[in-house]
Copies of this chain bind each other. A is one copy, B any other.
Amino acid sequence: MTLAHQIAILAGDYIGPEIMASAEKVLAHTAKKFDFAYETTAYPFGGEAIDKCGDPLPQSTIDGAKQADAILLSAIGGPKWDAAPKRPEAGLLAIRQALGLYANIRPTKISESQVDDSPIKPEIVRGTDFVIARELTSGAYFGKPRELAEDHAIDTMYYSKDEVERIMVTGFDMAMQRKQHVTIVDKSNVLATSKFWRKTAERVSKRYPKVTVDYRYIDATTMAIMTQPTAFDVIITANLFGDILSDEAAQITGSIGTIPSMSAGAAGPNLYEPIHGSAPDIAGKGIADPIAMVKSVAMMMQYSFNQPDIAEAIEQACDQVIAAGITTPDLGGSATTDEVTDAIIARI
């Protein structure tokens, strides 16, 4: 008998629980089919946790998440908590820190059936397939001092050698599994932290003689993502730049409702979540796109549980469902969340 894999479920706000329900259905189906033993435990997080516990990240959720083998998170936040002293987003930053999730991996892959959904011309985006490795627990997001005074404000971008080195290693390792190409994105013609990133990249890259390395400025990269997205394989970049670039990259797929992500640390469980938000405007209507959440399950199978077959089966089912035009309104279809979910399950 295998020990059941423990999965922490943070279902989140607005459409969060709706798409998490889809993910759990897909999980249950594949587990049965592939004989994968697991147990889930749900914890309050984000707005839900503010309502229940007065804190977007209660200690019990940290404790539970730490004990799990992997964490599935849906989308959090929304207008309901706009005036909360601690907003749901603060919980997101806090869980990244508490679990040491320093590497955020966001894939941008455009399958043939999605080419026409892109705002970019088909001949440019066809074949796009890269990932962004974003540093997630340091930089401008967490540096001290941070001040919000009457007459001025301060944020600090801080990076230590270890912090930069480990995300470099994550990115270069990924590149070795992919097309052996890395692009370091920074603003080293202006920022000291970026010069530091570049120096570190030069050092780490020596350990990967097979990997070719490009250096680009963040401003120029926003152009290149639009004009030559196929030029990228693995982009490695700082927290703030990664936040900006990964949204732009997601948008060129035209289908941000379909993009999963992984946040990983040195030890402890990884966290998997869609890159989209909680979409308060469509919550409760049963039309939220479950694909990104379901693909987050696939990523979890791949990276936390070393089950490439299950991951592949889920991925392919999702792509087939999109290709068959069984899609929610965000992708131009008229299917419900449940219909898309059932269609995925039918194809696994």
Residue of B nearest to A227 (CB): B119
Contact segment of A38-46, A157-165, A316-324: A157-165
Quick check: is A204 within 8 A (CB to CB) of the other chain? Answer: no
A89 neighbours in B (Cβ, 8 Å): 189-190
Within 8 A of B (CB), among A204-223: 218-220, 222-223
A150 neighbours in B (Cβ, 8 Å): 161
Quick check: is A281 within 8 A (CB to CB) of the other chain? Answer: no
Are B223 and A192 in contact (CB-based, < 8 A)?
no
Total A residues in contact with B, Cβ cutoff 8 Å: 51
Quick check: is A112 within 8 A (CB to CB) of the other chain? Answer: no
Are A152 and B196 in contact (CB-based, < 8 A)?
yes
Are B148 and A152 in contact (CB-based, < 8 A)?
no
Measured CB to CB, the closest approach of chain B to A84, in angstroms, equals 12
Are A155 and B222 in contact (CB-based, < 8 A)?
no
Quick check: is A147 within 8 A (CB to CB) of the other chain? Answer: yes
Within 8 A of B (CB), among A130-181: 140-141, 143, 146-148, 150-161
A252 neighbours in B (Cβ, 8 Å): 226
Query: CA of A250 to CA of B227 in the docked complex: distance in angstroms?
Result: 12
Contact segment of A10-18, A57-65, A241-249, A259-267: A241-249
Residue of B nearest to A250 (CB): B223
A153 neighbours in B (Cβ, 8 Å): 158-159, 192-193, 195-196
Measured CB to CB, the closest approach of chain B to A66, in angstroms, equals 24
Quick check: is A191 within 8 A (CB to CB) of the other chain? Answer: yes
Are B219 and A256 in contact (CB-based, < 8 A)?
no
A247 neighbours in B (Cβ, 8 Å): 219-220, 222-223
- CB contact under 8 A between A152 and B161, given known A192-B146, A227-B251: yes
Interchain CB contact (< 8 A) of A124 among B119, B161, B187: B119
Interchain CB contact (< 8 A) of A161 among B151, B190, B244, B256: B151
Residue of B nearest to A143 (CB): B154
Quick check: is A120 within 8 A (CB to CB) of the other chain? Answer: yes
Quick check: is A87 within 8 A (CB to CB) of the other chain? Answer: yes
Quick check: is A94 within 8 A (CB to CB) of the other chain? Answer: no
Contact with B along A110-129 (1 / 0, CB 8 A): 00000000011100100000
Are B226 and A244 in contact (CB-based, < 8 A)?
no
Quick check: is A93 within 8 A (CB to CB) of the other chain? Answer: yes
Residue of B nearest to A251 (CB): B223
Q: What are 20 A-B pairs at a CB distance below 8 A?
A: A87-B189, A89-B190, A119-B124, A120-B120, A120-B226, A140-B140, A140-B191, A148-B192, A148-B195, A151-B160, A153-B195, A154-B193, A155-B157, A155-B191, A156-B156, A157-B157, A219-B243, A222-B251, A223-B248, A248-B248
